[in-house]
Homo-oligomer: A and B are copies of this chain.
Amino acid sequence: MEIIRSNFKDNLNKVYEAIEEADFLAIDGEFSGISDGPSVSTLTNGFDTPEERYQKLKKHSMDFLLFQFGLCSFKYDHTEAKYIMKSFNFYIFPKPFNRSSPDVKFVCQSSSIDFLANQGFDFNKVFRNGIPYLNQEEERQLREQYDERRSQANGAGTLSYISPNATKCPVTIPEDQKKFIERVVEQIEDLIQNEENKNLQLEPSIPGIIYLCHYCFQKERYIVISKVDEEERKRREQQKQAKEQEELSDAVGFSRVIHAIANSGKLVVGHNMLLDVMHTIHQFYCPLPEVSGLVSLQVIYKILLDTKLMASTQPFKEIINNTSLAELEKRLKEIPFNPPEVESAEGFPSYDTASEQLHEAGYDAYITGLCFISMANYLGSFLSPPKNHVSARSKLIEPFFNKLFLMRVMDIPYLNLEGPDLQPKRDHVLHVTFPKEWKTSDLYQLFSAFGNIQVSWIDDTSAFVSLSQPEQVQIAVNTSRYAESYRIQTYAEYVEKKHEEKQAKRKWTEDSWKEMERKRLKTQYTPYIPQSRYYCGCHEFLPSLMIHWTESGELCCNPGAVNCCMTCICFLFALSCLFRLRSLCLKSSLYTV
């Protein structure tokens, strides 16, 4: 269902109802751009830490506009054994609602706009009919403005049409305008004396004469003065308040949908959803937290699930090659998956997945929901006895909660909203600085003795270079010792130095919260302690996790660490179908630590 400015109010209750009754919600956003600074490849450096990635997106992606929001509610009908779906496609635009309202500036990135244009995106609908919105602070300010005006009006015991400066500023009336003013004064005195007349319509003033009470005598506009008794005054005042209340509601606009999602506490599913989450908070709610403190990303969404992360993790990782939304949706219709049984609710148009409408936010939200259902149900096949339907409340999917996929990061699959981020082993990675004239080919040249390398650009004059053999890292550092034009250090040295710089900076500040943050960061960078065990493939990123394979091939679970293991995605499988899990894990490569 397409929701624009003109049909928003009429359909808002439908939206509320859909959210309220849903088992889970799927969302998607379309933006006017991705990066206003670095190229996308620099923005998404392969060796970003989750914190760094968050900071980069916060700095370089938030000035774009989220101008289409897809919301799809899924409710399971047990008798029919199928999902009932309601899909909403919102067009959003910060139309200024009056002269003192915020005049939002947003950035557009040509490549993103061009991409959407090629998909048939309707920009006219956004700009002509987009639903306005306010964040919490703007809403508070507007409410204050109304309250202030009202209390001013009440205090003066008059209607609230008071020009704020009228009482303070003494006006010198020019000689040639005195006649006009005198005539007006006379007319008003007549009105007050005369019991029969209730209204007085002042004549439009002669051009070039004056502005009276800040009202503009132009064309068809003129001032009407009315006599009112106390009762009439109150009635008008109430009318006015009701109107103000409605204006305020209209101005808050689309943010009311976001508030409803926040209040519902429902599971919210998205595909590669980090930017969607950040944008919705930033645009409709409040400024993003300074330091990630990533828990606070849950200010709107209490439980999040990212289908791209789910599809990239065991037990899906092995059987899904391409996790792009369109390809994933196709793959999940095939064996061993089952296409989910989903039907549009009555009165809601249905999408046809055969004729793709990709990058319409409503459609993308819809197929994200389909993907989630297919994958959740697949998890049921591991249970004994197997289950065809796994609900959005099942323990089976909890391991995937509140972990957001990190684009293009090589060795950290997700940003963890509920605990410390993963500590990847980067002992094969070098940090290289060089003159800004250097190109990728110069780095290939420099490292030609070390076989295949991978280059991840940081900026014009530095990059991470990962070698295929960790043992060669020290050799590379040693050979560079006397080089003049470039400098090579290990990843660990780089992190240490960066951390020291941060500490030095922080020494100058006395704010205690910053001091606390420093400590938090320090914890985060505790040096990695190697353990000589084998790890199952799905844990290649998690050396500190407690489920592991022993050298003799036994599955080992560190006793007392069950809480920790609850975050381990395959823990439940490990318990319910040990053998099958073992074979799954063995298929992926094993890593010696």
Interface residues of A (CB under 8 A from B): 32-33, 36, 39, 65, 93-96, 103-111, 113-114, 116-118, 122-124, 126-128, 164-165, 168-172, 207-208, 321, 439-441, 444-445, 448, 451-452, 468
How many Å from the CB of A356 to the closest CB on chain B? 16
List the B residue with the shortest CB-CB distance to A444.
Answer: B169
How many Å from the CB of A109 to the closest CB on chain B? 5
How many Å from the CB of A245 to the closest CB on chain B? 23
Known: A36-B105, A452-B171. A95 touches B110 (CB 8 A): yes
Q: Are A96 and B110 in contact (CB under 8 A)?
A: yes
Q: Which of B93, B124, B451 contacts A110 (CB 8 A)?
A: B93
Q: Are A109 and B114 in contact (CB under 8 A)?
A: no
What are 16 A-B interface contacts by the 8 Å CB criterion? Answer: A93-B114, A103-B110, A103-B111, A104-B109, A105-B107, A105-B109, A114-B127, A117-B124, A122-B124, A123-B123, A168-B445, A169-B441, A170-B451, A172-B451, A207-B321, A208-B321
Cα A111 to Cα B103 in complex, Å, equals 6
Cα A127 to Cα B452 in complex, Å, equals 42
List the B residue with the shortest CB-CB distance to A132.
Answer: B110
Q: Are B168 and A448 in contact (CB under 8 A)?
A: yes
Give the residues in chain B near A126, CB-CB below 8 Å.
123
Cα A208 to Cα B164 in complex, Å, equals 71
Cα A96 to Cα B113 in complex, Å, equals 10
Known: A96-B114, A165-B440. A106 touches B108 (CB 8 A): yes
Known: A114-B96, A124-B122, A127-B114. A441 touches B168 (CB 8 A): yes
Q: Which of B113, B451, B468 contacts A127 (CB 8 A)?
A: B113
Known: A122-B124, A441-B165. A448 touches B111 (CB 8 A): no
Cα A576 to Cα B391 in complex, Å, equals 93
Known: A124-B123, A321-B207, A452-B171. A165 touches B444 (CB 8 A): yes
Give the residues in chain B near A65, CB-CB below 8 Å.
108
List the B residue with the shortest CB-CB distance to A164.
Answer: B441
List the B residue with the shortest CB-CB distance to A63.
Answer: B107
Q: Are B441 and A105 in contact (CB under 8 A)?
A: no
How many Å from the CB of A288 to the closest CB on chain B? 20
Cα A107 to Cα B126 in complex, Å, equals 16
Q: Which of B108, B208, B439 contacts A108 (CB 8 A)?
A: B108
Cα A169 to Cα B170 in complex, Å, equals 81
List the B residue with the shortest CB-CB distance to A321.
Answer: B207
How many Å from the CB of A172 to the closest CB on chain B? 4
How many Å from the CB of A269 to the closest CB on chain B? 28
Cα A126 to Cα B124 in complex, Å, equals 10
How many Å from the CB of A211 to the closest CB on chain B? 12
Cα A445 to Cα B166 in complex, Å, equals 11
List the B residue with the shortest CB-CB distance to A95.
Answer: B114
Q: Are B124 and A111 in contact (CB under 8 A)?
A: no
Q: Which of B32, B169, B207, B440 contacts A445 (CB 8 A)?
A: B169
Cα A94 to Cα B93 in complex, Å, equals 22
Closest 3 A-B residue pairs measured CB to CB?
A169-B444, A165-B441, A123-B123
How many Å from the CB of A62 to the closest CB on chain B? 13
Q: Are A104 and B93 in contact (CB under 8 A)?
A: no
Candidate in A36, A109, A208 with the most chain B CB atoms within 10 angstroms = A109
List the B residue with the shortest CB-CB distance to A99.
Answer: B111
Cα A106 to Cα B169 in complex, Å, equals 43
Q: Are A448 and B170 in contact (CB under 8 A)?
A: yes
How many Å from the CB of A144 to the closest CB on chain B? 15
List the B residue with the shortest CB-CB distance to A450.
Answer: B172
Q: Are B441 and A172 in contact (CB under 8 A)?
A: no
List the B residue with the shortest CB-CB distance to A126.
Answer: B123
Q: Are B207 and A444 in contact (CB under 8 A)?
A: no
List the B residue with the shortest CB-CB distance to A442.
Answer: B168
How many Å from the CB of A274 to the closest CB on chain B? 21
How many Å from the CB of A113 to the closest CB on chain B? 5
List the B residue with the shortest CB-CB distance to A115.
Answer: B96
Give the residues in chain B near A94, CB-CB below 8 Å.
110
Known: A94-B110, A110-B94, A110-B96. A169 touches B127 (CB 8 A): no
Give the residues in chain B near A168, CB-CB below 8 Å.
441, 444-445, 448
Cα A444 to Cα B171 in complex, Å, equals 10
Give the residues in chain B near A164, CB-CB below 8 Å.
439, 441
Cα A36 to Cα B36 in complex, Å, equals 15
List the B residue with the shortest CB-CB distance to A170.
Answer: B448
Give the residues in chain B near A103, CB-CB below 8 Å.
39, 109-111
Give the residues in chain B near A208, CB-CB below 8 Å.
321
Give the residues in chain B near A93, CB-CB below 8 Å.
110, 113-114
How many Å from the CB of A80 to the closest CB on chain B? 38
Q: Are A110 and B104 in contact (CB under 8 A)?
A: yes
Give the residues in chain B near A122, CB-CB below 8 Å.
124
Q: Are A96 and B111 in contact (CB under 8 A)?
A: yes
- Excluding A164-B441, A165-B441, A168-B441, 4 further A-B contacts by CB distance (< 8 Å) are A32-B108, A107-B108, A123-B126, A170-B451
Give the residues in chain B near A165, CB-CB below 8 Å.
440-441, 444
List the B residue with the shortest CB-CB distance to A34.
Answer: B103
List the B residue with the shortest CB-CB distance to A103.
Answer: B111
